[in-house]
């Protein structure tokens, strides 16, 4: 049984169904409202209401989502979780900043200490590279002198030259990693210092508001 634009109260008076029967309300593709004890198959997956014997909505069912809608819903959910995770990490970082450092000077001192440690490693790598270059230069002069005297150059000398070149390559890579790390430390602490200033300003403003509210 189906009724178009029929008041629910009249439907309840005239429709021959028991007090336990369910009634439904749905809207067709043309926007017309229908009431009935059964929903046409083509509207089962669309938005509709379930009514009790008094014509009161007891359950509202949303239209079934399309495949594209479900994909978009999942994308938005992932996006939301990612944003929440970023915000959580931000709050944790803020807490660590305030718990670890009392003043901006403490941050600067921590930064400089780390930079000094990295600079020490860079200087060490440079020293090893310079020493290897000196050894190579000496060995190559030795090779030239041996060849000038028409003698055979011992294989051991070439192996030593190759070893020193390998050492230069290895420590050049190590040095570049330390240089990159130094730049990362600078960038990281620059961000820390800016954020620390903001957090301290917020703390100060909060204290001032509290003092004003307390009449202090």
* Tokens 């961000």, located at residue: 191
pLDDT at residue 190 above 90?
yes
| Nearest-angstrom CA–CA distance, 169 and 51 | 80
Give counts: helices (H), strands (E), the chain.
4, 5
| pLDDT computed for residue 128 by the predictor | 97
Instruction: Find out whether 174 and 125 touch, Cβ atoms under 8 Å.
Output: yes
| Averaged pLDDT for residues 107-119 | 97
| Averaged pLDDT for residues 149-174 | 96
Q: Is 54 exposed, middle or buried (0-12, 13-18, 19+ CB in 10 A)?
A: exposed
113 or 15: whose pLDDT is higher? 113
| pLDDT computed for residue 16 by the predictor | 47
Q: Which residues contact 37 (CB under 8 A, 6 or more apart)?
A: 1, 15, 17, 21, 22, 23, 24
| Nearest-angstrom CA–CA distance, 177 and 155 | 33
Give me 207's structure tokens.
């204290």
Residues 148-161 have pLDDT tens digits of 999 999 999 999 99
Helix, strand, coil percent content, the chain, rounded in steps of 5: 70, 10, 20
pLDDT at residue 19 above 80?
no
Element (H, E) at 36: strand 33-36
59 or 186: whose pLDDT is higher? 186
168 or 3: whose pLDDT is higher? 168
| pLDDT computed for residue 215 by the predictor | 76
| pLDDT computed for residue 151 by the predictor | 93
Per-residue confidence band for 85, with pLDDT thresholds at 50, 70 and 90: very high
| pLDDT computed for residue 127 by the predictor | 97
* Tokens 């007090």, located at residue: 19
Residues 28-58 have pLDDT tens digits of 878 888 888 888 887 777 888 888 877 788 8
What is the overall mean pLDDT for the chain? 87
| Nearest-angstrom CA–CA distance, 172 and 124 | 11
pLDDT at residue 8 above 50?
no
Give me 92's structure tokens.
């944790």
Q: Give percent of the chain with pLDDT exceeding 90.
A: 61
């Amino acid at each position: 049984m189906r009724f178009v634009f029929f008041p629910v109260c009249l439907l309840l008076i005239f429709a021959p169904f028991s007090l336990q029967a369910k009634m439904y309300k749905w809207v067709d593709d043309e926007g017309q409202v229908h009431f009935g004890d059964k929903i046409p198959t083509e509207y089962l997956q669309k938005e509709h209401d379930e009514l009790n014997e008094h014509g009161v909505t007891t359950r509202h069912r949303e239209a079934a989502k399309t495949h594209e809608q479900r994909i978009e819903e999942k994308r938005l959910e992932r996006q939301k979780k990612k944003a929440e995770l970023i915000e959580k990490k931000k709050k944790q970082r803020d807490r660590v900043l305030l718990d670890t450092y009392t003043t901006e000077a403490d941050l600067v001192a921590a930064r400089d200490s780390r930079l000094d440690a990295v600079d020490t490693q860079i200087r060490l790598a440079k020293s090893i590279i310079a020493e290897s270059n000196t050894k190579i230069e000496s060995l190559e002069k030795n090779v030239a002198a041996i060849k000038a005297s028409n003698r055979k150059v011992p294989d051991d000398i070439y192996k030593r030259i190759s070893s020193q070149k390998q050492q230069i390559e290895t420590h050049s890579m190590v040095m570049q990693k330390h240089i990159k790390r130094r730049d990362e430390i600078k960038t990281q602490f620059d961000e820390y210092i800016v954020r620390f200033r903001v957090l301290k300003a917020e703390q100060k403003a909060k204290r001032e508001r509290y003092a004003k509210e307390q009449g202090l």
